[in-house]
Amino acid sequence: MSKVVVALGGNALGNTPEGQIEAVRKAAPSIMGLVKAGHQVVIGHGNGPQVGMINNAFDFASQGDGKTPYMPLVECGAMSQGYIGYHLQQALQAEAERVGLKLDVVSVVTQVEVSAQDPSFQDPSKPVGNFCSKEEADAIAAEKGWTFVEDAGRGYRRVVPSPLPVKIVEMDAIKKMMEMGMVVIAVGGGGIPVICKGDRYVGIDAVIDKDGWFDSGDLGLKTLDGELILRGRKKDTIVLRGGENPEPVPIEMKLQESPFIAQAVVLGQDQRFLGALIVADETEVKSYAAEQGILADSFEDLLAKPEIKKLFERQIASLINHENGFKLFERINRFVLLAKPFEAGVELSAKQDVMRYKITSLYSNQIDSLFAD
């Protein structure tokens, strides 16, 4: 089973509610095919035309009767996520009913943290809203502090920052819902941009744009069908003594499908085989031990029991094998069980990524034991 991200363009969704309903109805069977094939599916979508429509409607109404408040761009983005998600939910639920599949579809109003120090805040460049004259632009800029630029002789438009994303705030919730078998619609329009102020997030008028590509260091391959499959990161690639180049991330992700494995780090640079540091899930392991009548004075003592080591051997062998697409050199020959979970700022970065250089330093004794002859 794979995790599949389906991306729907904002323009492809149409410019009217009726057009959008028809567009998602046509897309639903293809998405349902992925679900029926056993994949975990998350759907992202653009929202440029939809945000523009919502923003223009509020702008027009606020200038008319004086009773309708002006709606900031960040709130318009949040509204567009709900509006698009609602149509996608209805289309997918109807398609699931048609093919006889019981399926939960949920939309997550998704915030994406950006840095307040991002250079784009000093040089906004993403045009939003309607065209206006220079006189109108100057008046609005004086009133609201907005930045306007002349756009190819067509008039003046407001420009807002286009910062790079730092993290998806609701990522843990999205992952949990996917693991429960739900189809999740999330990060619409690149997410609602927020900055961290003290102990809370604050929305900000900006656009997390598809043009903000940067070198992430990810490795990928393109299939014959034109699909891009991420296989790890350049800096994570392990080179074994025999010249093989296993990617640790896919192996780690597969290991973590076991209920008994909370975290895993695969190692083996310049070694003959791969080994792993495995953080055991304390709740699951203790439950198993109680069922089997395995007694120990502490969790660390429990992990040292031969019966528990055999349990993990079986788990690893059932996951990292030929049937699941792994080559012989990608199998885990030895492992060390750890009782203490990895922590942000110690073994993990603020984005919860494994800091491998920290792991090799902090666990040098355990790593040495993995590869001792």
Contact status, residue 181 vs residue 100, Cβ threshold 8 Å: no
pLDDT at 194: 95
Residue 353 has pLDDT above 50, yes or no: yes
Q: Are 267 and 255 a contacting pair, CB within 8 Å? A: no
Q: Give the pLDDT of residue 79.
A: 94
pLDDT at 215: 47
Amino acid type, 313: E
Rounded Cα distance, 342 and 100, in Å? 42
Q: Are strands 3-8 and 40-45 parallel, antiparallel or unpaired?
A: parallel
Per-residue HEC secondary structure of 241-262 comes to CCCCCCCHHHHHHHHCCCCCEE
Distances (CA, A) of 295 to 259, 266, 268, 283, 288: 20, 29, 33, 15, 11
Q: 320 and 248 in contact (C-beta within 8 Å)?
A: no
Q: Torsion over CA of 215, 221, 225 and 226, rounded to 10 degrees?
A: 20
Q: What's residue 226's pLDDT?
A: 52
CB 273 within 8 A of CB 335: no
Q: Is the pLDDT of residue 232 over 70?
A: no
Instruction: Tell how many helices (H) and how many strands (E) occur in the chain.
Output: 11, 16
Token pair belonging to 357:
């250089």
329 pLDDT above the threshold of 90: yes
Q: Which residue has tokens 């495995």?
A: 278
Give the domains, in start order, of the chain with CATH numbers. 3-125+161-203 (3.40.1160.10), 235-371 (3.30.300.30)
From residue 134, give the alpha-carbon distance in Å to each of 131, 137, 274. 10, 5, 65
Length of the chain: 373
Task: Provide mean pLDDT across the span 183-209.
Answer: 91
pTM for the model stands at 0.57
Distance CA 8, CA 117 (A): 30
pLDDT of 77 higher than 80: yes
Q: Report the pLDDT value the prediction gives residue 214, as an integer from 0 to 100.
A: 47
Residues 253-257: contacts with CB within 8 Å, 24+ apart?
254/319, 254/320, 254/324, 254/326, 255/316, 255/319, 255/320, 255/332, 257/319
DSSP 3-state of 171:
helix
Tokens matching residue 175: 């992952």
Q: Chain-wide mean pLDDT for the chain? A: 87
- At 291, is the pLDDT very low, low, confident or very high (cuts 50, 70, 90)? very high
State the DSSP code for 272: S
Instruction: Give the model's pLDDT for residue 128.
Output: 84
Tens digits of residue pLDDT in 46-72: 888 888 888 888 887 887 767 888 888
CA-CA distance, 76 to 59, in Å (whole number)? 11
pLDDT of 217 over the 60 cut:
no
Tokens of 306: 């031969």
Task: Look at strands 105-107 and 183-185 and give their pairing.
Answer: parallel
Q: How far apart (Å, rounded) are the C-alpha atoms in residues 185 and 182?
A: 10
